Structure 1
Amino acid sequence: MNEQAAWEQAQQSAPPSVGALLADRIARTPDAEAYRWRGPDGGWQSQTWAEAGQVAQEIAAGLLTLGLQPEDRVAIMSGTRIEWIHVDLGVMCAGGATTTIYPTSSIEDVTHILADSGSRFAVVESAEQLDKVTGSAVEHVILMDGTDSRALTLADLRERGRALPPETVTKATVAVTSDHLATLIYTSGTTGRPKGVRLPHRCWIYQATATQAVDLVGPDDLGYLWLPLAHVFGKALGAAQIAIGHATAVDGDVTRIIENLPVVKPTVMPAVPRVFEKVHAGVLAAAHKDGGVKARLFDWAVGVGRRAARTRRAGEKVPAGLAVQHRIADKLVLSKVRARFGGRMRFFLSGSAALSADICEFFDALGLPILEGYGLTETSAGAFVNRFDHLEYGTVGLPLPGTEVRIAEDGEILIKGPGLMDGYHGFGAADEWLHTGDIGEITARGSLKITDRKKDLFKTSGGKYVAPQAIETRFAAICPLSAQMVVYGEGRNYVTALIDLDPVAVRTWATENGVTGDTHADLVRSPQLRAAVDAYVAQLNAALGRWETVKRFTILERNLSVENGDLTPSLKLRRRLVEQRNSHLLDELYTG
């Protein structure tokens, strides 16, 4: 059965809501593992689907005792943790709708989101987050950690829920239709005030059934989830997980990923390009640290892995001689790298921003393929994804079954399908075709290739158009020190760039090259580091058209960050804001 037929069949029998989807999963595999997470003592705890459903039911009932009505909004402001998932499921089982808020959001954004969404309830992680909602129009606040006179604890809420008969929640769940609002996600916005994207239950059911039809993940897989659940990517993965029935390990602490993977031994992990870029740079740096035989062996092994992977992607059998070399390379080098990821990883998923094809090929050479996908908050995340039997690096793959794509005359990508939002909250219904704001093309094999953001394209004074994102993505694959390149040149006579270097990579480089400095700013001012980056820029320019080469650049002394507002919580560049903040540096690149 092909994907389209499988999806159509799944849609016909699909439950109408996420709460009903959860109930169906519990009925099918009540004793199968659903979630695992790190407990207070640092050890991993596990929970079955029946146990997770019981917690969600108690939370749902507790909200009903507080007066929750159908489609009432419940804001969740917390890092990624098991309680986030429990609360979200409880809200939807009770017939409410979750308003997602990043815990890094400023008090101004929190105030705006709570007021604009009309959220009656808020569930917050800590006293710090509680401070951000105090004084808002929220009627009830629930606190995950600790106690505070201004809020109920999550334990209190569950205790209230246990006093209600279970059929109260069942009745509320059954009353939810596919068109009822399930989630309000406020676009983190690279510019302007965030807008609420209205995603009804049918969007999450579509993500669930379409993911099943594509058949990349099975019930025996173990996912590793660290992505922010306030982001649409994490939410879509949660719906698909319930439909498929596999287990997921949950830990939102990004600093513990490398520590956790050998212990958890997941088979699938979603991530954003910046994670793959950092891992790529780290693996290369470790392999080449001492040079000599070790470095040459690593390069040889990766080269063999690349040739074998390319042969397989072309649908051809790996020749006997190459197969022998690959077995040796795998035993000596490649398998040892995979062991750092737990030794069972089948593939990674990448989304949220463009990923370099070179980095994809590098991971594939290691035996850790990356399936890049594409979607927006407005499409409830997944709209395209690469498949193992149709893997085309440098693209985001084919549409999910049920999704249609069209390229407008100006190159903008238009999307239509069941995963599209109802519209922006307070702005009326959405159009049939979503104008994504991205520029792209369809390859000869039918995959979608993203060129750049429409609003990010710029024209030099010589009349040449430049796509900055393509250049920035390529530099990330070339320069292991890079955290972010910001290409600039609107109306100018040549292209320049701001370059942000990764502080950990810079400190390691400095130690290995005898460069001293107390701060990151001290190190990036060194002539030796400037020369090293200059060499990487020259390598970048060698593959670019003359009009788009980076003629001059500045290395930033202050790192771009989510906390400072330079990046969105999903690590996308707020380009215009960064340009404004560093306008004096950009101006200097065109003088003298």
Structure 2
Amino acid sequence: MGRPGATEMLFAAMRAQGERLALQQGDLRLSYREALHEVALRAERLRSAGCRRVAIALDNGIDWALWDLAALQAGLVCVPLPGFFSAAQQAHVLDSAGVDTLIIDDSTCFRPAGFGVTEGGIAQRHVDHPLTLPAGTVKITYTSGSTGQPKGVCLDAAAQMAVAGSLWQASRSCAIERHLCVLPLATLLENIAGLYTPLLSGAAVDLIPMADIGLSGATGFDVQRFLAVLQRSQPNSLILLPQLLLMLVAAVERGAALPASLRFIAVGGGRVSPGLLQRADALGLPVFEGYGLSECASVVCLNTPEQRRIGTVGRPLPHADVRIGPGGEVLVRGARMLGYLGEAGAADDWLDSGDLGHFEDDFLVLHGRSKHQFVTAYGRNVNPEWVEAELVQQLPIAQAWLHGEALPANVAVLVPRGPGLSDDMLAAAVATVNRELPDYARVHHWLRADEPFSAANGLATPNGRLRRAALLDRYRGAIDRRITAATL
């Protein structure tokens, strides 16, 4: 369970709140005392059932929060199962993590994986020889799929509570009394910053199913439904992804009203345009950009009301040390993973984040990813080489380049295998690939290349590897026009 006291810190803070409102979902309200009672009952059910590794496959709601806290209290390994993963990726999570217990409303879709329903939504199966986990692991959180198979990040309680405690201190001046969970609780950011942090501080957490919030899949967002939720909830704090913030700002610029209760809107999960933050400033929105990664138990740096600089991701939080490596790599030490599932733990205390950056007066400025992986405007990691490899397996497609950095939709530039291939044939090939991909990695729009990618035109190396910067320079305008046309 991590270092002694890490888990108890959270539950002691909750016990001190007594009858204050802790969790709400519509008309259902639980005080801190009632929530702790429910957590204790569920923890005992998990122990009695002989559970060891528990996956939660629920929509956002009070049940998700209670089961997560129950697993933590029982000292079991919790594995949040993202609803935006494809069926194949979800199966990979369950198998690779050695999950023997599944918390779900309807387990019929998981019966092929061997889960049988007992009572109260607990489905179980026998797992022979699960992978050995690093000592202290209480959560395995999976990346959003930078490759076809997401990687499991093993975390102890101490790392999670260190981040939650730092976030509480960073936002303390805002006197947050009510947080609205907007992102799926299966994402580590909302799990820690949107559940543990408010509960540490004595705030109430408003939990609403994703469809009611206005989110569907990894990219669908109904801003009008979201605005209505904000008016009903009257929250003090939110966590948004860049694309959600963009749509919210645009709606307010068109005259939409926001509740005066908002005091702290955190934004992260992908690159945020300084121009967007300036637009939010002009509207009086309290937006604070941050930066983190699952391998460091979520948030590492954050702008705050006292220390804020647009164009940066803020200063390191108290639990984290950040430095810049000799090649410009952002290195992090402090709260960090115990290791990747199935791999040896890192020997070095410093973790290479995979990002490039520099400091300005202790504020971290990010330049971009050190590898080809990009992060969409919805905060999903995508390795374009994975998708490109699937595309060129289709007979009509000779070459493919996928771009989606900070965009609401992924755009592919395709080179057909012959001049006679029609757009319909290319569209059918793309559709075939998309059926096997999670929605955040799909090709949402595509363009026909005006010539093959070659060393002669500077769009590929002599051995055929894509020159991605050159491709972006060549097709940036066409991509921007396609995205703009799609949003009109």
Same fold, TM-score > 0.5, yes or no: yes
Deviation at 1:22, TM superposition (A): 4.1
Q: What is the CA–CA distance in structure 2 between the aligned matches of 1:102 and 1:565, rounded to whole Å? A: 15
| CA apart distance, 1:209 | 2.2
Give the deviation of 1:455 after TM superposition: 1.2
Larger-Rg structure: 1
The answer (yes or no) to whether the contact 2:176–2:237 under 8 Å persists in 1 is no
1-structure distance, mates of 2:74, 2:164: 20
- Which residue of structure 2 aligns with residue 397 of structure 1? 314
Counterpart of 1:116?
Answer: 96
2:179 aligns with: 223
> Cα 1:371–1:567, aligned 2, differ >3 Å: closer, same or farther?
farther
For residue 58 of structure 2, what is the aligned residue in structure 1? Answer: 78
Equivalent position to 1:244, from 187, 201, 204: 201
Structure 2 counterpart of 1:153: 120
* Residues 57 and 392 (structure 1), Cα distance of their counterparts in 2 relative to 1, 3 Å cut: same
Q: Counterparts of 1:342-361 in structure 2 under 5 Å?
A: 342-361=259-278
Distance 1:281 1:347, change over 3 A: same
**Secondary structure, aligned partner of 1:181:** coil
What's the CA shift for 1:211?
2.0
> Shift of residue 76 of structure 1?
0.8
Instruction: Determine the structure 1 residue equivalent to 2:483.
Output: none
Match of residue 31, structure 1, among 10, 13, 19: 19
Q: Matched residue pairs, number? A: 391
Instruction: Please give the root-mean-square deviation of Cα atoms over the aligned residues, in Å.
Output: 3.6
Unpaired stretches in structure 1, ≥5 consecutive residues:
1-13, 39-43, 142-149, 158-177, 288-336, 458-467, 477-485, 487-494, 504-555, 569-573
User: Is contact 2:14–2:199 with CA below 8 Å preserved after alignment?
Assistant: no
Alignment of 1:75-474 (within 5 A): 75-125=55-105, 127=106, 130-138=107-115, 150-154=117-121, 180-216=136-172, 220-237=176-193, 238-253=195-210, 254-255=213-214, 256-284=225-253, 286-287=254-255, 340-417=257-334, 419-430=335-346, 431-443=348-360, 445-456=361-372
Q: Which amino acid aligns with 1:110?
A: Q
Cα 1:567–1:107 shift into 2, 3 Å: closer
The SS at the match of 1:371 is: strand
SS in 1 for 2:113: coil
Bigger fraction of residues in helix: 1
> Structure 1 residue 104: deviation in Å?
3.1
> Cα gap change, 1:409/1:115 in structure 2, threshold over 3 Å: closer, same or farther?
same
Q: CA deviation at 1:352?
A: 0.8
SS at match of 2:371: helix
Q: Which runs of structure 2 are paired with 1:540-559 in the superposition (5 Å)?
A: none
Deviations 1:454-510 (A, max 9, x none): 1139xxxxxxxxxx88xx98xx9xxxxxxxxx9xxxxxxxx997899989xxxxxxx
- Decide whether aligned partners of structure 1 residues 385 and 220 sit closer, same or farther in structure 2, where only a CA change above 3 A counts: closer
Residue 66 of structure 1 and its aligned partner are, at CA, apart by 0.7
Partner secondary structure for residue 24 of structure 1: helix
- For residues 448 and 583 of structure 1, the distance between their equivalents in structure 2, rounded to whole angstroms, comes to 36
The 3 A distance-change label for structure 1 pair 566 and 196 is closer
Distance (Å, rounded) in 2 between the aligned partners of 1:87 and 1:121: 12
1:23 shift after superposition = 2.9
Post-superposition Cα deviations, 1:18-49, rounded to whole Å, max 9, x if no partner, equal: 3x2343124311111111112xxxxx332101
Taking the aligned partners of 1:234 and 1:500, their CA distance within structure 2 comes to 20
Report the secondary structure of 1:75's partner residue: strand
Tell me, yes or no, if the aligned pair for 2:86 and 2:438 is still in contact at 8 Å: no
Cα distance change, pair 96–403 in 1 and its aligned pair in 2 (3 A)? same
One-letter amino acid matched to 1:413: V
Deviations 1:350-385 (A, max 9, x none): 111111111112112222121111100101101100
Separation of aligned partners in 1, 2:30 and 2:240: 24
- Unmatched runs of 5 consecutive residues or more in structure 2: 125-133, 215-224, 379-383, 385-400, 410-426, 453-470, 476-488
Q: Cα offset for 1:17? A: 3.5
Distance change (3 Å), C-alpha of 1:501 and 1:242: closer
Give matches, 1:494-573, under 5 Å: 565=437, 568=440
1:393-440 superposed Cα distances (whole Å, 9 cap, x missing partner)? 1111000113111212221111111x1000001101123111111111
Distance (Å, rounded) in 1 between the aligned partners of 2:405 and 2:300: 32
Q: AA paired with 1:25?
A: A
Task: Look up the SS of the partner of 1:436 in the other structure.
Answer: strand
Checking the alignment, whether the CA contact within 8 Å between 1:75 and 1:122 is kept in structure 2 is yes
Distance 2:203 2:308 in 1: 24
- 2:129 corresponds in structure 1 to none
Aligned to 1:16: 5
Corresponding residue for residue 485 of structure 2: none
1:136 partner amino acid: A
Amino acid aligned to 1:82: I
Q: What amino acid maps onto 2:119 in structure 1?
A: L
Q: Distance in 2 between the 1:395 and 1:367 partners? A: 19
Distance in 1 (alpha carbons) for counterparts of 2:22 and 2:201:
11
Post-superposition CA distance 1:275-314 (Å, at most 9, x none): 0111223333x35xxxxxxxxxxxxxxxxxxxxxxxxxxx
Deviations 1:65-121 (A, max 9, x none): 1113xxx21011122111110111111111111111112322222221111111110
Counterpart check, 1:67 vs 2:34:
no
CA distance in 2, matches of 1:587, 1:156: 54
8 Å CA contact retained: 1:17, 1:201: yes
Does the CA-based 8 Å contact 2:23-2:29 persist in structure 1?
yes
2:209 partner SS: coil
Checking the alignment, whether the CA contact within 8 Å between 1:566 and 1:578 is kept in structure 2 is no
Residue 120 of structure 2 aligns to which amino acid in structure 1? T
Equivalent-residue separation in structure 2 for 1:137 and 1:101 (angstroms): 16
Distance 1:199-1:416 versus aligned 2 partners, 3 A rule: same
Rounded Cα–Cα distance in structure 2 between residues aligned with 1:61 and 1:442: 48
Match of 2:159, SS state, is: helix
Cα gap change, 1:499 to 1:361, in 2 (>3 Å): closer
